[in-house]
Structure 1
């Protein structure tokens, strides 16, 4: 009898009134591409969110570099085992949109959850890249940056150049580069990510097109058209600088950063998000300035483009999971959260409120390099030519561009021939992408959100 009573008591304890204490949080799987110190920042960000409430538990998983993450999410899509949220780099935006059943647009996710985002709160040049034709966010801008000019102030002093003022225009640059070489610099100017910095941003900075259909934001029938007067002049100038030793090619990725940090190269064009790492690595005083421009182009400077990645919400989840995803995204968009992310990682703030909060707190007084990037993005409202570039097979197109640039440096092609070849080869890939992704009944004219 005693055993029966005890069994009944145990059963009573397990009845519904004890359930709230045992309620399980909705788990959200978040795949990302950030290892090392920035991966640790993501873990810290997620931990703060998880500690702030008990209803949602985000599990962040590093899946490898950007290209690996994109492949992984499409493999998971085919296997019907996708995560809830995934970080995809900006060159994969067209691929994500083309997979029409894969993505739940962020604007729709937030509206359905009853917490719509204020699209006007976002930095226009940041939000435009991840928005549809009506200005609604398809993905949340997450880690974004833009190219800036880094210069070795100590090397400038040695060359009797003004260490507080880098050249503002490309016409002013040769005099400075020559003085740097004459004073003993082994390398005057170098760059990271050549296609992104030297062509894509060069076009936007001068309000010149990179491709038709609003640089691809208007539809999958976009075609490259960057073989313009601006680009011929620019690549011709770089080619002459390469021959004279003013410009040094450091490969297709970010190897140039190490050459700058070591003191070998005196001037560098690279991502604004590299500021903190360069500051840690360099043993000299350096400055950060806006990208130079051609001052005989009346619309320059316009605004630069972003690089980085967006946070995409994926389809096929339950209502409670969608609400949990929306809660995390709303948290990420808060000014205080964005300001801290901006200040600890070097990525630009995605909202104007986060920028103003950072400025109010005096962060830029001791870290002026971070503000240069934001000011470039806020310089003017983006135009059709400077909102962003959204193309299929974009990684392959970048590889083509950089291969053609190497042919120019090797004196195997003229700048015009190389640019024409890059456009023709890239357009063949875009035609293939259009055939594979145009909806039934015609060509895709707009990237439409469901």
Structure 2
């Protein structure tokens, strides 16, 4: 992302730049560096209907005026994976995933009793257990509609619900029911190796799980706290989108528009979705996949879509904050202190909010 913006400043930018979802605000405020995808499609003479895209996906990359800014490509979301063989060995129903967090704790206890050294783990602590957790519970991650309402948004993930959740994870950690396996996507190998029996990760990991796991597994919806009003709501998008850089000749934009039309065709999106586990970004691609019988033949592979197709709220549309990659790093640093016993969940979340807000203040000042 930084290299792409720098390349634009020096006049050497590519036509298309792939940027992960947390870079959305930075790209938006990159002062003339990007050309909105809606404009590219119109000028390129290609039919383009934002309503054709899954709402939670399109909404993440849409400006306040309703204009889509970038093209959703490898979009994913958080899902729950579990080892069906381990469940059976623990006396659990291998066809029924825990639907709530209390059920996760109960299942983890039975898995541990059956010999599991890692009943539950999670990848992407910041994305899965803070950002997506907030949306799933229809609870604010940050003010100003999680940043969609303006640059003066401030972090709010030290609420009673967030503290309660991390106290729950902390207690699970102390009992050996939750084992922290590292940042970002690193924990996935702990699941595919069979070490960890339950795992929250990206739907985009489906292909690698299917390839590497030597056991029967299934995907399910994220667990939630049943006493929280509005839960479960929807999860938020992960992965990346394609941004079109400005200052290119009309012929280049015509080619980009044609390429995006190809990428968004139901056939291409459906095949990509079935192969990788990334979302079929359009409703038509989802319907084509369903018609082909893929979901019946591969139970659980429709979980990611079902979590995303629900109409979003101001609290569940997603997160649009400047310096979000750095904020995620802070969240990782602070929550790691919980698992080592150096901070309480409240202390860690309060500190992460304070440090993160300092970065938001700087981003606001730089982009007024």
**Normalising by structure 1, what TM-score?**
0.80
Which residue is 1:107 aligned to?
Answer: 38
Q: How does 1:15-414 map to 2 (within 5 A)?
A: 70-378=1-309, 380-414=310-344
Alpha-carbon distance, 1:149 to partner: 0.8
- Looking at structure 2, the residues matched to 72 and 366 of structure 1 have their Cα atoms a distance apart, in angstroms, of 42
- Looking at structure 2, the residues matched to 222 and 112 of structure 1 have their Cα atoms a distance apart, in angstroms, of 34
Q: Does 1:423 align with 2:358?
A: no
- Looking at structure 2, the residues matched to 144 and 152 of structure 1 have their Cα atoms a distance apart, in angstroms, of 25
- Looking at structure 2, the residues matched to 353 and 231 of structure 1 have their Cα atoms a distance apart, in angstroms, of 36
- Looking at structure 1, the residues matched to 241 and 198 of structure 2 have their Cα atoms a distance apart, in angstroms, of 30
Alpha-carbon distance, 1:332 to partner: 1.4
Higher relative contact order (CA 8 A, sep 6+): 2
- Looking at structure 1, the residues matched to 307 and 200 of structure 2 have their Cα atoms a distance apart, in angstroms, of 14
Offset from partner CA, 1:89-123 (integer Å, 9 cap, x none): 11111111111210000011112233341111110
Offset from partner CA, 1:135-185 (integer Å, 9 cap, x none): 321001000111111111111111100100011100112211111000011
Alpha-carbon distance, 1:391 to partner: 1.1
Contact 2:35–2:245 (Cα < 8 Å) also in 1: yes
Contact 1:146–1:373 (Cα < 8 Å) also in 2: yes
Alpha-carbon distance, 1:213 to partner: 1.5
Counterpart secondary structure, 2:318: coil
Alpha-carbon distance, 1:216 to partner: 1.1
- Looking at structure 1, the residues matched to 156 and 307 of structure 2 have their Cα atoms a distance apart, in angstroms, of 24
Larger radius of gyration: 1
Contact 2:170–2:338 (Cα < 8 Å) also in 1: yes
Offset from partner CA, 1:341-385 (integer Å, 9 cap, x none): 21222210110000000100111122223211111111x201111
Contact 1:261–1:283 (Cα < 8 Å) also in 2: yes
- Looking at structure 1, the residues matched to 292 and 67 of structure 2 have their Cα atoms a distance apart, in angstroms, of 30
Contact 1:305–1:387 (Cα < 8 Å) also in 2: yes
Contact 2:131–2:141 (Cα < 8 Å) also in 1: yes
- Looking at structure 2, the residues matched to 116 and 217 of structure 1 have their Cα atoms a distance apart, in angstroms, of 27
Offset from partner CA, 1:212-252 (integer Å, 9 cap, x none): 12111222221111111110110000000010101000011
Contact 2:117–2:176 (Cα < 8 Å) also in 1: no
**Normalising by structure 2, what TM-score?**
0.98
Contact 1:348–1:370 (Cα < 8 Å) also in 2: no
- Looking at structure 2, the residues matched to 279 and 336 of structure 1 have their Cα atoms a distance apart, in angstroms, of 22
Alpha-carbon distance, 1:417 to partner: 1.4
Counterpart secondary structure, 1:276: helix
When the two chains are superposed, the root-mean-square deviation of aligned CA atoms in Å is 1.1
Contact 1:188–1:267 (Cα < 8 Å) also in 2: yes
Contact 2:8–2:245 (Cα < 8 Å) also in 1: no
Contact 1:123–1:351 (Cα < 8 Å) also in 2: yes
Counterpart secondary structure, 2:302: helix
Counterpart secondary structure, 1:233: helix
Offset from partner CA, 1:14-33 (integer Å, 9 cap, x none): xxxxxxxxxxxxxxxxxxxx
Which residue is 1:31 aligned to?
Answer: none
